[in-house]
Amino acid sequence: MARYAHITGWGMAIPQKVLTNSELEKMVETSNEWIVSRTGISERRIASETESSASLAVQAALKALEVANVHPLDVDLIIVATSSPEHIFPATACIVQDQIGAKRAGAFDLSAACTGFIFALDLAAATIRSGALNTVLVIGAETLSRFVDWGDRNTCILFGDGAGAFVLQASDQPGGILSGVMRSDGSGAELLTLAAGGSKYPASQSTVQNGMHYIRMNGREVFRFATRVMTQATLEVVQKANLSLQDIQLIIPHQANQRIIETAAKNLNFPLEKIVSNIHRYGNTSTASIPIATCEAIQEGKLKAGDTVVFVGFGAGLTWGAVLAQWSGPLPAKKRVYPHRYRWFARLRSRILRLWRRLEGFFWGKNAA
C-alpha cells in the first residue's frame, strides 16, 4: 500500500524581547528608513539570558505535538535544523528529546544553515514514505543573536531568534509532502560564514580578537545567489510533482529580505500576495523562518486543508532547496493526548535517569575499575 508523509502539526515559539530598528540606530550607523527599504525588516526578537535554541525548540515542538494530537512517546525521530546549536555536541535534538520525554525517538541536528528546515522536511518525508518510520518531529530553532557582531551594520540588522516545528506522520491517504529538491554548492562557502569554534579554527585568543566567532557575509553575492535559486528550486519542485505554478496556492519562502521575495515573485511571474512574508516582524530567523511563517499563515487563514504549498529556502554552504506539499492538517485521532502535561513526567524521568547513572557509577563503576 502507498504511504504518504502528511504535515499534521505545527507550532512556533518566539522570545518576548523585541529589538526595533530605532534601537539599532543607537547601536550602529544605520537608519530605520535604510533597513526597511533595503530589507523590509522593522523589528526582530532577541532571546533572553534564560532562553536558548533548545528551550525555544521545546516550546515549538510541544505546540506542534498538541496540534497533531501526537504523544511524545509516539515520536520516532527528532531532527533539529539549526545554525546556532546549544553546543557542537551533544546535539540540540537530544536535549529536546529529553525535555519532551520522547523516549523512543532517535535525535540529531542538521546543519545546512537557513536551508536546514527544508532539507530536514525532505529527509523526514522520504523516511516516512519508505516505511522506515511513522512519526517525525522536524524543528528549526535559532538564537543567532548570540553570534551576531552588534557592531557590524551589514549583518546585525538582519537576524532574529525563534523556533518553529512540524509533525510529520505516515498515512495511506494521498497528499502531504509530494516532492522535494536539495541542492548545494560549496564553492560559495566563504560568502556566508561563522568561521571559528570548529576543528579548523578552535576557539583561541586570536579567533576571538579577529571576530571569527561572528557571522560574516558578502551580502550582495548572497542576494544574487538567493534570487536565482529561489526561482530555480520552486520551478524544479513543482515540475517534480508533475504540477504547474498555476496549481500552487501559496509559496512560503525563507524570510531573509523582502526584496529577495519580491524579485523571486517577479521572476516566477507569481502573485506577490500568494507569497507569505512576515519578515517585518521577525527578521531572518534562519531555519525557523519557514515554520514560523507557516504557523502565521494558518492563523491568518491563508493556508487551508487541500491547498498546494511550496516551501523554499537558501542559505550558507551554499545550500538551497524546496518542498512541495498538499496541506492536510491533523489526522483523525481516537483519543486526545496532552504533550504539555506529560512534560513534568519527562522532567522527573530525566532527573531519575541522571541520578541512577550516578548511583550506578558509584556502586558498579568501582568494580569495573
Q: Are 72 and 346 in contact (CB under 8 A)?
A: yes
Minimum CB–partner distance for residue 214 and ligand ACO (Å): 13
* Residue 17 found at the interface with ligand ACO (CB under 6 A): no
Contacts of 209 (CB under 8 A, 6+ apart): none
Task: Give residue 348's region: left, alpha or beta (phi > 0; psi -120 to 50).
Answer: alpha
Q: Which residues pair with 20 in a beta bridge?
A: 43
Q: Which of 38, 146, 228, 349 binds ligand ACO (CB under 6 A)?
A: 38
DSSP state string for 67-116:
HHT--GGG--EEEEE-SS-SSSSS-HHHHHHHHHT-TT-EEEEE--GGGH
Stretch that binds ligand ACO, among 35-43, 126-134, 327-335, 345-353 (CB under 6 A): 35-43
**Residues 158-187 vs ligand ACO: string with x where CB under 6 A?**
------------------------------
Which position among 127, 143, 231, 257 is part of the footprint of ligand ACO (CB under 6 A)? 257
Burial of 199 (0-12, 13-18, 19+ CB in 10 A): exposed
Q: In the bound complex, what is the minimum distance in angstroms from residue 215's beta carbon to ligand ACO?
A: 7
In terms of Cα–Cα distance, which of 222, 213, 207, 208 is closest to 194? 213
Q: Would you call 114 a catalytic residue per the annotation?
A: yes
Residue 284 known to be catalytic: yes
**Using the rule CB under 6 A, which residue among 315, 321, 330, 339 binds ligand ACO?**
315
Per CB under 6 A, 99 contacts ligand ACO: no
Amino acid at 148: V
Residue 223 near ligand ACO by CB under 6 A:
yes
Which is the catalytic residue, given 6, 254, 257, 278?
Answer: 254
Nearer to ligand ACO by Cβ, of 19 and 226: the residue is: 226
Contact assessment for residue 170 and residue 128, using Cβ atoms and an 8 Å cutoff: yes
256 near ligand ACO (CB under 6 A): yes
226 binds ligand ACO (CB under 6 A): yes
- Pairwise CA distance, residues 164 & 293, whole Å: 9
Q: Are the beta carbons of 310 and 324 closer than 8 angstroms?
A: yes
Q: Is 110 in the site for ligand ACO (CB under 6 A)?
A: no
Q: Which parts of this chain interact with ligand ACO (CB under 6 A)?
A: 30, 34-35, 38-39, 113-114, 153-154, 157, 192, 217, 219-220, 222-223, 226, 256-257, 284, 286, 315-316
Catalytic residues: 114, 254, 284
